[in-house]
Amino acid sequence: MKLTIFFLVAIVFITAGPSSSYSVDNENSVSGQHLKQEKKKYEDTMEERLSKLGKKLDEINAKAAFMTEQAREELNQYLDDAKKKQKTALRKLREIRRESTEKWKQFTSQMDAAADSFSKAYEKAKSRAKE
C-alpha cells in the first residue's frame, strides 16, 4: 500500500514538473522579448534625439560662415565643444547597442548624461550664434 502511494505521488510530481517549468520558460521568454523591445525603443529614441541635435548643430555651423571673423572664432569654440560631446554621446549609444539585453539598463544613466551634455553644449552654441 505504501509503495503504491509512493508511486502515485511520484507520478504526480513528475507530470506536474514539466508544465510548471514550461510556464517559467514561457515567462522568461516573454520577459526577454519585452526587454529586447524596450532596449530597441530606447536606442531608436536616443538615435533620433542625437540626430536632430546633430542636424541643428550643422545649421549653426553653416551660419557661422556669414559671421564676422571674431564672432565666428568665438562660436567655433562652442561648436567644437558641442561636437566633442556629440562624439561622446554617439560612442555611448554604440556601447549600449553592443550590450546584452540583460545589462543595457546599467548604461542608460551614462547615455542620458552624455546626451544631456551634448544638448546643453548645443544650446550654448545656439545662444552664441544669435549674439
| Predicted local distance difference test score (pLDDT) of residue 21 | 46
The amino acid that residue 123 corresponds to is E
Domain total for the chain? 1
State percent of the chain over pLDDT 70. Answer: 76
Residue 8 clears pLDDT 80, i.e. is over it: no
| Predicted local distance difference test score (pLDDT) of residue 1 | 58
How confident is the model over 39-60, as pLDDT tens digits? Answer: 999 999 999 999 999 999 999 9
The DSSP-derived string for 42-71 is HHHHHHHHHHHHHHHHHHHHHHHTTS-HHH
Q: Does residue 51 fall inside a structural domain?
A: yes
Residue 23 clears pLDDT 50, i.e. is over it: no
Q: Does residue 6 fall inside a structural domain?
A: no
Q: Does residue 76 fall inside a structural domain?
A: yes
Q: Does residue 96 fall inside a structural domain?
A: yes
Q: Which range of residues forms the domain containing residue 121?
A: 34-130
Yes or no: say if 96 and 45 are a contact pair by the CB < 8 Å rule.
no
Burial of 61 (0-12, 13-18, 19+ CB in 10 A): middle
| Predicted local distance difference test score (pLDDT) of residue 22 | 45
